[in-house]
Structure 1
């Protein structure tokens, strides 16, 4: 009896679990329906194109297609790692990525904390609108504005320098100023937009915590340090992990528009290199291998940062 009853019991458990899942699905059907467009987007435009990564291991010929192109294994990766330009590309990309992480990532947090301290809603909404606007300006326009301000021929900044007796500075073609120009453009364009998530997290902080802190004699800084920052700490950790996933994505369009023959030694990064060898020179397999290497580094950073966050007591990304 025991031998025959155990399979029957296990089948009953499986059926009950399946029925429970179906009931949950039907109960939350509208939520799943709302999530469906986003899921389809990622499946069609993110996951399905991953099959194209196979050409990184082939001598891909468009006329032959992926199925009939010659398989060469790690040939393109070896070529990339032993190429003379690899060290320069890796160095430039890492420096730009660190600049973005160190100088840009904290600024939306700081700005969100400052905006949260504004008590008059009219002023707060006005400032939010002003700092959001640059996000909707394309990089072409941002670079154009930079040229108007910083060119040596009629640029506003250089005209001011000349008027006070200082020499003009070639901001746009100088290797020394290239990275500063890039990170300054990113800060101006994206800092305000980056505050949205942090402001949403701050809106969920219980006001009674601040009232209790005031009764205990805590000032604004104490409230910020002991209530506000702990309340958004998990959000900061998650966004930091996500930022590491795109650590080596330095922004192709912006850097490509700012590049010229005089600053290429500090401005050439993986993104622009992939465009040059993949699109302009038609080396599809080689450029795919370079892009895949960059993605693997990002994946490793996300996994490592997520494990570290969990060890530190945070929920992490997954």
Structure 2
């Protein structure tokens, strides 16, 4: 890595990095606070943790929190050249790689849940039980762990024993000792991208078919579910672009270090932090039940005279079965 005291455009590289790091820390802190507030709201009413779509929403929030903290730690270590032993880097990589995939896979599952709710309403209660939701979460984590398992299996078979005791700056590139490994990792990512896109498009097309034949309140609810799937699709696209970011950054690193710095921060803000602000929008603000509960728990301490009205309104809303 270039010397931190080198001058770029009349300013030291250390100052440029520090400004960017401060911006990222502020954004990470804001998103973590929002996510923790939403997670707290989720656990305050048993209705939420007995409903499949809210449970999957909580999984995405927890996954986002993990990936925000871990990726932020790796980002700071990378730019300030903090090193760690490879065994510790392996642990960090396992967690970050797992939850990098958990969010998009869960978003795909949430889109399928909307498909079942709208296109198969009579079977929704049977298929989307709490027990099946727990099984779904287990399957999501198993599917999400496969890329990490494949890459680390090849790494452990290829790397020497002394390599694990070395101190290095932790990054995913450290586990790719040969060029074919990066090609294979890219192929796995693109395969996941293809499968999840097919499932999202399938849900979208099927919901559109129902929307065209629905009428009245059913039509309104169906189009609401369709908009949710569209937002999931956009969020999923941003999440999946994350999987290509390491290869883009590696290409810029071979060309120019400052370009690599700028591209890496751009990728982190747009493709890592960007999707994290959509989860609160989709289920924190657009969902009537969750928004009312969130508003109640956030404001009841400040506006005690409104607490009773909010509570009554919330109880009425929870009896309406929205898709």
Q: TM-score, normalised by structure 1?
A: 0.29
User: Larger radius of gyration, structure 1 or 2?
Assistant: 1
Q: TM-score, normalised by structure 2?
A: 0.28
